[in-house]
Structure 1
Amino acid sequence: MHVLGAVSQELYFPDMHLTDIIEILILTYLIYHIAMWLINTKAWMLMRGIVVLGIFVLLAAVFKMHTILFLARNSVTVLATAAVVVFQPELRRALEKLGEKQFLSSIVPFETNKESSRFSEDTMDSIVDAAYNMGRVKTGALIVVEQAIHLTEYESTGIKMDCLVSMQVLMNIFEHNTPLHDGAIIIRGDRIVSATCYLPLSDNMGLSKELGTRHRAAVGMSEVSDALIIVVSEENGKVSVAQGGVLDRAVTREELREKLTYIQNRKPENKNFLQHIWKGRNKDEKRTDE
């Protein structure tokens, strides 16, 4: 008992207050979402480069390479400015996604209202049937299925609509020589909200050179949002799906239905912060077809 008492006296137990607990939760929230942002964007590759550069500087410090250390000390300001410039697209996208999040509903551990953008089984059947019917006759199509991030910015580039999704409507929109066939349509829930929309093109140099503008627009849109984008090739009639910056080419009807079912049943990412801390986040592996 005397030994235990001596040990307990040497241990340091800091005084914890309510503000300290709130501060820890806020920092945990920020660090978690910054880490997820780095992993899910091209910033992760840039961060790896910075880590490698830091290792070189550390080795220079260990072996006392004074010239390298001098250059490193005097280039910190320049590197910080360069990092802001290089990360500018990713920072902009991160702030856009942060603006879409409901901060309070992310922290409070209670269920909030269900996502209003969930689509029905009839909508899913219509999308699948229309995609493969158009592929059979080689009619090009670009369909954006919105999820948590609202695509208002891109919706405004097209012609606003408000109609229920159906196979006949989708096929009629993308029919050749019709006023709405050029560009993409955006689906929110069970309704088509806009047509002939302009999407950002991906600058990913790893994409196959045989891919056209329609496929690059699909990948570009998936890089700046959490939407699922369906592409029907006008050249070969194959159906491809882009999500999270990854393009799955020539998917089957069953694979497309599985992807739509997954996003239909998936819980919103920002619904419950404490559930993320407890359960963690599982990230499905995706294949890239280059």
Structure 2
Amino acid sequence: MKGFDFDFLKVSPTDVVDIVLVAILIYYVYTLIRNTLAVNLLVGMFIITVFYWIVKALHMELLTTIIEKFMSVGIIALIVIFHPEIRRFLLLIGKNAFLQKNKAWWGYLFGRKEIERNNLTRIKPIIDACKTMKKTRTGALIVFVKFYDEQFFANSCEVVDAKISKRLLESIFQKNSPLHDGAVVISENKIKSASCILPLTDNDQLPSQFGLRHRAGIGVSETTDAVAVIISEETGEISYAKQGRVRMNVSFGELEKLLNKDF
């Protein structure tokens, strides 16, 4: 059209590749911070940024100066705040998790029934062990993580790295076992470690009957994308913690569906 310059609309193949790569990067960063406290931190930073624009537009010099000083150390603050997420991102790259996830999606599209059978095979020993421990009122904390940070867990756990087994889970949580006091961490279809000491939640609104086992399970689900299955030693009741929230008195059918979805 005459009088209009559409040169800025020209898109080269390199631009397309650039946009796609940025979109992929944003997606995988989102999958890393999803269901973690990092999302709340990002929302808080966004609110501070909007507030800064408002006070600057209103010429509130004192508030503007204070916020500018705060934002001047933003890069260092980001590195400190998102240190766990950065570690997991580098771990994901080192283990070629991008390719593994793409293979999983390919398999999901063309072999869904086979994947469902594999999921049931993985989950069945866990469900069977939970049934036994519920019946005998054996306290247990089983944590499922997508990305296993070896350095983090090596400092607070006993390395197991064994195939998921009903008998092994029951043996670990036996009262006389030296590994029963703590959490079992499952990742990559293996029992990676046992007797793990996990950070407790700071939530003071939890029911009074929740002990350290429940608070540790909720705590790890608050700070990471992990989910936790907790079996009460007093009642045998099964709880399921995710994103800092806990579902109590979970049935075995519900537990199977939850693990099939999240694990």
Q: TM-score, normalised by structure 1?
A: 0.68
Amino acid aligned to 2:7: Y
Q: CA deviation at 1:38?
A: 4.7
Partner residue in 1 for 2:17: 22
Equivalent pairs counted in the alignment come to: 255
Q: In structure 1, how many angstroms separate the alpha carbons of the residues matched to 2:81 and 2:186?
A: 33
Q: In structure 2, how many angstroms separate the alpha carbons of the residues matched to 1:189 and 1:104?
A: 15
Unaligned runs of 5+ in 1: 265-290
Q: CA deviation at 1:53?
A: 2.3
Q: CA deviation at 1:44?
A: 2.3
Amino acid aligned to 1:136: K
1:6 aligns with 2:5: no
Q: CA deviation at 1:239?
A: 0.8
Q: Pick which of 180-189 and 99-108 moved more.
A: 99-108
Partner residue in 2 for 1:200: 198
Q: Give aligned-pair identity as a percent.
A: 28
Corresponding residue SS for 1:55: helix
> Following superposition of structure 1 onto structure 2, how do residues 168-207 of structure 1 map, counting pairs within 5 Å?
168-187=167-186, 192-194=191-193, 196-205=194-203
Amino acid aligned to 2:181: D
> Following superposition of structure 1 onto structure 2, how do residues 177-256 of structure 1 map, counting pairs within 5 Å?
177-187=176-186, 192-194=191-193, 196-205=194-203, 208=206, 210=208, 211-223=210-222, 226-256=225-255
Corresponding residue SS for 2:2: helix
Q: TM-score, normalised by structure 2?
A: 0.74
Partner residue in 2 for 1:138: 137
Hey, which of these two has a bigger chunk of helix by percent? Answer: 2
> Following superposition of structure 1 onto structure 2, how do residues 1-290 of structure 1 map, counting pairs within 5 Å?
5-6=1-2, 9-97=4-92, 99-104=94-99, 111=106, 121-145=120-144, 148-150=146-148, 152-153=150-151, 154=153, 157-160=157-160, 162-163=162-163, 165-166=165-166, 168-187=167-186, 192-194=191-193, 196-205=194-203, 208=206, 210=208, 211-223=210-222, 226-263=225-262
Amino acid aligned to 1:247: V
Q: CA deviation at 1:186?
A: 3.8
Q: CA deviation at 1:253?
A: 1.8
Corresponding residue SS for 1:175: coil
Which structure has the larger Rg over C-alpha atoms? 1
Unaligned runs of 5+ in 2: none
Q: In structure 1, how many angstroms separate the alpha carbons of the residues matched to 2:261 and 2:17?
A: 34
Q: CA deviation at 1:174?
A: 1.9
